[in-house]
Amino acid sequence: MLKKLILLIILGAHVWFNCGTTHIKTDAEYRREIEVLREELIDHPGDKSILQDLGIAYYSLQDYKSALKYLIRSFKVDPTDAKTMAYLGMTLEAKNKNSLALKIYKRHTKASGSSHFRNIMAVRAKLLRRKVIENEIQQLLQNEQQLSVSNIKPGTVAVFPMTYHGYDVEYSALGKGLSEMIITDLSQVQSLTLIDRVRLQALMDEISLGQSGLVDDDSAPRFGKLLGASKIIHGGLDVIQEEYLQLNVAYWDVFDNDLPEFAEQSDQLSNLFKIEKDIVFQILEDMEIEITPAERQRIQYIPTKNIHAFMAYCMGLDQEDAGNFGQAAKYYQQSLQIDPQFKKAASRLSDTQLLSSATFSSSGQLSFDQSGLSSDPLQTSENSLVNSRLNNLNSNIGSFFIPGQESRESAEEADNANVEIFDDLPDPPAPPPPRP
């Protein structure tokens, strides 16, 4: 006990001396702390805080095997503690157990305690999810010869970004925005499962797909097998005659490898959302899928009435897919400033601001810059032809607004459900035996 008391006095002196200052513990201090905590654990073998502090101390020393033992024990005492879960997830990452770490991080909405650690979990979940998906796509490509359409679930749909065929680059991001609208609308149909955009983008990045000839009769079956999709949807768009939109969309049946028939729609650009809805209903008809009145109403929901807001949102999607979260957040912020009721822009703004403001140290610690976003990424001017056209179009778009509720989310958002991981994690070690 005398040894324990001396060590506690030493640790207390460090805390008092560094009170009000930033102090980074040395390895020696962590080792002394571990010695104290292990002594305390003999008297209190199930104490969550002691187990947690031991795990964090070992994590800081990069002794991840020992950190994992104590953090798992702390987690099982209280599976909602945000600090324990954050360090447990980071320790699993350090041991290359990324799938388990991701399951931990996805519990951040259920976590109790400091919002700082919930933020850590939320950021880690989003970044690690991308990494896990990229690794899965790489594995699929390595084993592509063994893939078979027989393992694909019917009703699974992948929507590729629409290819822009026009000359005015300011409209080029429309393809991603329209594709996401199609994904969202098809997600309202209970019998369909949509491949999320992150997985699709990972495949496109891995095989360096260009924007020209993205999907054709030869590549569609391959993409279906790689993504596990029974149907591939892709098409093209063009903005002509200054204010006229043409949209052509087709779907490939991966099982039958049927040649597609394109669904074609064209109208004034101000009727963009009506064109997209007509395309969705035509695709569902071609697929011979009957929808309920409630599903039809949900599909008819239009997220924003403002072309400016939607264009900024499309540019945000483009930057987010490229991993430029700060720039994406600026576009989403501008979209929301134009239309404060644009719920999707608000959701993505929150996510990308958190991602863009996260700073990781070499030890895995994470902090957040709350300086905010103020610059205007669109850099439009009163003399911009596209800007002028859009100003004129917004006065006509309101007649096509159909009220509704966003009651179902896309597959990307749906898989953030709470996941129990107890069976996946190794059993905690037994408490140390009492010392004589």
Final residue in a domain of this structure, among 290, 322, 348 = 290
Q: Are residues 284 and 308 in the same domain?
A: no
Distance CA(395)–CA(307), nearest Å, equals: 10
Q: What Cα–Cα distance (Å) separates residue 293 from each residue in 188, 297, 301? A: 11, 6, 13
| β-sheet bridge partners, residue 159 | 233
* Per-residue pLDDT reduced to its tens digit, 278-288: 999 998 988 88
**Residue 295 belongs to some domain of the structure:** no
Q: CB count, 10 Å around CB of 154? A: 11
Q: Are residues 343 and 242 in the same domain?
A: no
Q: Are residues 133 and 159 in the same domain?
A: no
Q: Are residues 267 and 337 in the same domain?
A: no
The pair phi, psi for residue 368, each rounded to 5°, is -130, 135
- Strand boundaries in 114-162, DSSP class E: 156-159
Q: What is the pLDDT of residue 379?
A: 39
**Residue 425 belongs to some domain of the structure:** no
Residue 48 identity: K
SS3 label, residue 303: coil
Q: What is the pLDDT of residue 390?
A: 53
Q: Are residues 306 and 191 in the same domain?
A: no
> Which residues, 6+ apart, have CB-to-CB distance to 360 below 8 Å?
366
Final residue in a domain of this structure, among 264, 290, 316 = 290
**Residue 16 belongs to some domain of the structure:** yes
> Which residues, 6+ apart, have CB-to-CB distance to 124 below 8 Å?
86, 89, 90, 93, 101, 105, 366
**Residue 72 belongs to some domain of the structure:** yes
Nearest CA to 78 out of 97, 50, 57 is that of: 50
Q: Are residues 312 and 257 in the same domain?
A: no
State the pTM of this model.
0.70
Q: Are residues 250 and 357 in the same domain?
A: no
What is the domain count for the chain? 3
| β-sheet bridge partners, residue 247 | 237, 265
Distance CA(60)–CA(418), nearest Å, equals: 28
Q: Are residues 176 and 204 in the same domain?
A: yes
Mean pLDDT of the chain: 76
**Residue 433 belongs to some domain of the structure:** no
* Per-residue pLDDT reduced to its tens digit, 279-334: 999 989 888 899 999 999 999 999 998 989 999 999 999 898 888 989 999 999 99
Asked if residues 237 and 245 have their Cβ atoms less than 8 Å apart, the reply is yes
**Residue 375 belongs to some domain of the structure:** yes
* Per-residue pLDDT reduced to its tens digit, 350-387: 888 878 766 544 444 444 443 333 333 333 333 344 45
- Domain of 344: which CATH number? 1.25.40
* Per-residue pLDDT reduced to its tens digit, 96-150: 888 899 899 988 888 887 678 888 888 888 888 888 888 888 888 888 787 877 7
- Domain of 242: which CATH number? 3.40.50.10610
Least confident range of 45-59, 259-273, 296-310, 417-431:
417-431
Q: Are residues 9 and 116 in the same domain?
A: yes
pLDDT-derived band at 259, boundaries 50, 70, 90: low
Q: What is the pLDDT of residue 213?
A: 46
Q: What is the pLDDT of residue 393?
A: 52
By CB neighbour count within 10 A (0-12 exposed, 13-18 middle, 19+ buried), where does 22 fall?
exposed
Q: Identify which has the larger pLDDT, 9 or 230.
A: 230
**Residue 149 belongs to some domain of the structure:** no
Q: What is the pLDDT of residue 328?
A: 93
Q: What is the pLDDT of residue 51?
A: 94
- Strand boundaries in 127-187, DSSP class E: 156-159, 163-164
Q: What Cα–Cα distance (Å) separates residue 398 from each residue in 307, 314, 382? A: 10, 20, 23
Q: What is the pLDDT of residue 322?
A: 84
Residue 308: give the domain boundaries: 302-405
Q: What is the pLDDT of residue 327?
A: 93
Least confident range of 177-186, 190-199, 333-342, 419-428:
419-428
Final residue in a domain of this structure, among 105, 140, 175 = 140
Q: What is the pLDDT of residue 221?
A: 77
Least confident range of 188-192, 280-284, 410-414:
410-414
